[in-house]
Amino acid sequence: ALAGGDTFAVKKPDPGHVTGLLAALGVGAHEAVMVGDSGNDALAARGAGLPFIAVTYGYCQGAIEDLSADERIGRFADLPDVVARLGLKSG
């Protein structure tokens, strides 16, 4: 699922942005993963208790290695394998 900056009353890095989306979907943090390209994405994921997967493409202005990511991917097609490696169910 995707939420924009104006979807909730708070914006990333506030974890309320992520927890609000999880609540809207009716899922818990143990059923989700955050995929992003910035420090704000990483902070929001950590604050909400989600694993964070950093992408090497996107709008990130810093080094992807500086993000506290559980995994990094260079192609979205790699996501299912990474999710499985993290012990989560994809789909």
**Is residue 54 a part of any domain in this protein?**
yes
* 42 contacts 68 by C-beta, under 8 angstroms: yes
Quick one: pLDDT at residue 91? 60
**Is residue 4 a part of any domain in this protein?**
no
The pTM of this model reads 0.86
**Is residue 10 a part of any domain in this protein?**
no
Sign of CA dihedral 37, 65, 17, 30: positive
Domain extent at residue 65: 16-85
Question: Residue 38 sits in a domain of what CATH number?
Answer: 3.40.50.1000
The one-digit pLDDT tens for each residue of the chain (91 residues) are: 888 888 888 999 999 999 999 999 999 999 999 999 999 999 999 999 999 999 988 776 667 777 889 999 999 999 999 999 988 776 6
Quick one: pLDDT at residue 42? 95
**Is residue 3 a part of any domain in this protein?**
no
**Is residue 35 a part of any domain in this protein?**
yes
- Looking at the structure of the chain, the number of domains it has is 1
Quick one: pLDDT at residue 87? 87
